[in-house]
Structures are given as C-alpha cells and as structure tokens.
C-alpha cells in the first residue's frame, strides 16, 4: 500500500489553464504539506495543514489554493497557470506537526506549463 | 534565521569508495531536528534519518553513518563502500521545534548529487 499518493504523476498543460493535484495519505497522520521542487532541485515548503486547518502559507501566490476535505487528503488547485509554475510538487505527511517525526513524501507530480 | 548549506554540489566516486556528504546548518533555536533524505533518479524522496538536537550520538545503519556535531553545526553523512545504487541527490534538512506544538516546516539544503561509477 502506498503511504502518500499523488495524482497525476505527470501533468502537461497550457498557460492560463486551471489544474488540480490530488494527495491522499493512509498513515493516519494529522499534518500534511505541499512542497515545490524547482528546476535546480531546490525544495521549498508551500503549505501545511493540521487536521484540515491551514497552518503554514509560505507567501505562495493566491493562484495556489490548497483544500483539505479531511485530514487524509490535501489537494492543490492552481489557477491561471504560468510558465514559472513548472516544477515538481511533492505532498507529504507527518504524525506530529512539530516535526518530532519524519515526513513521508509522495512520489511527486511533475507539472509542465507550455 | 534557519539555513542549511550543502556546499558540495556534485560528487563523483568509484564503486567501493567511501564518501562523505557535508551539511552545515544555522538556527537560533536550542531544540531542532535534522534530517537526511535521498532522491534517486526515479524522483521520490526517501527518508533516511532524523536526529534531534539533544542527541549527539553518531548513528550507523549498515553502510550509512551520520556524524552530528553541535559545536560546528554540522550533520555529515558518510556512505561506506559506495555502490552504484547509491547514486542520487541527497538532501539535508532542518526543522525547528516551534512552540505550543505548532506545525513546522523542513528547510532543505540545495542537495548534493552523488554519482557512483562502476
């Protein structure tokens, strides 16, 4: 069983479109995250949710809107996609929000905006 | 401010060589956590180790070992007798404990690309 799963794995879309990436974890964790990895492999947090409540919003443009219908899911919706949004997006989860436990990552979604 | 520095951008070794990946961190907190993650060519992020700031004991897991030294703010990672399957990007990361159980984030270094040649 996959612990943290994201769909789709690859996403190619045109500028201006709206797209969503789904994430689900079956670990029973309370906290979920979205990280962005750019073309230089740099990883940076975007959002974190704890029990469906937004905890961290790391100055991400408001075109990005996370949605957590329950604590096992954290989806990422992106409006009006731009070329600079091309990156790999990773979902992650951890048992405790204070990082006393490790974060488990999904396999990543490679988003290409053309 | 929190910061993680991995000065080695790329390292190339021949199989069976030992290799050490350096990690230097900055934090003002006294309680924090350090991590290493591996990202193989397939792209996923694989957790390797977590260490809290109060535990300076070195750790060994098979061919992997970690040297945590608070005096130099370093958390270095050594692979002994490297293998081709060790080829990956390795990330060091830091998280501060925060207050009141607040959710915290991983601050990643820029990663070190390790290429192990047969």
Mutant choice from A49, A103, A109, A112 vs B, greatest count of B C-beta within 10 A? A103
Please indicate if any CB of chain B lies within 8 Å of the CB of A50: yes
Nearest to A43 among B96, B104, B108 (CB): B108
pLDDT tens digits, one per residue of A47-90 = 988 888 888 888 789 999 999 999 899 999 999 999 999 999 99
For chain A, the average pLDDT equals: 91
pLDDT at B106 over 50: yes
Query: Cβ separation of A102 and B104 shorter than 8 Å?
Result: no
Q: In the predicted model, what is the mean pLDDT of residues B3-26? A: 97
Residues of chain B found within 8 Å of residue A88, distances taken between Cβ atoms? 43
Please indicate if any CB of chain B lies within 8 Å of the CB of A110: yes
Return all residues near B11 (Cβ < 8 A) that are at least 6 apart: B19, B21, B112, B113, B114, B115
Q: How confident is the model at residue A99 (pLDDT cuts 50, 70, 90)?
A: low
CA angle (B43, A76, A73) in 5-degree steps: 90
Q: How confident is the model at residue A26 (pLDDT cuts 50, 70, 90)?
A: very high
């Amino acid at each position: 069983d996959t612990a943290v799963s994201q769909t789709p794995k690859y996403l190619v879309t045109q500028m201006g479109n709206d797209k969503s990436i789904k994430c689900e974890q079956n670990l029973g964790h309370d906290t979920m995250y979205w990280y962005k990895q750019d073309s230089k492999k740099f990883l940076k947090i975007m959002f974190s949710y704890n029990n469906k409540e937004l905890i961290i919003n790391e100055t991400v443009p408001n075109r990005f809107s996370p949605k957590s219908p329950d604590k096992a899911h954290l989806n990422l919706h992106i409006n009006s996609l731009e070329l600079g949004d091309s990156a790999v997006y990773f979902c992650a989860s951890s048992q405790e929000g204070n990082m006393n436990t490790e974060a488990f990552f999904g396999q990543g979604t490679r988003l290409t905006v053309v | 401010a929190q910061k993680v520095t991995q000065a080695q951008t790329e390292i190339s070794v021949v199989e069976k060589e030992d290799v050490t990946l350096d990690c230097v961190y900055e934090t003002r907190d006294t309680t924090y956590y350090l991590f290493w993650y591996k990202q193989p060519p397939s792209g996923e992020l694989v957790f390797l180790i977590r260490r809290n700031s109060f535990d300076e004991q070195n750790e060994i897991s098979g061919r992997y070992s970690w040297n945590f030294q608070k005096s130099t703010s370093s958390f270095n990672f050594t692979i002994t007798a490297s293998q081709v399957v060790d080829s990956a990007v390795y990330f060091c990361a830091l998280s501060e404990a925060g207050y009141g159980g607040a959710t915290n984030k991983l601050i990643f270094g820029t990663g070190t690309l390790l290429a192990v040649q047969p």
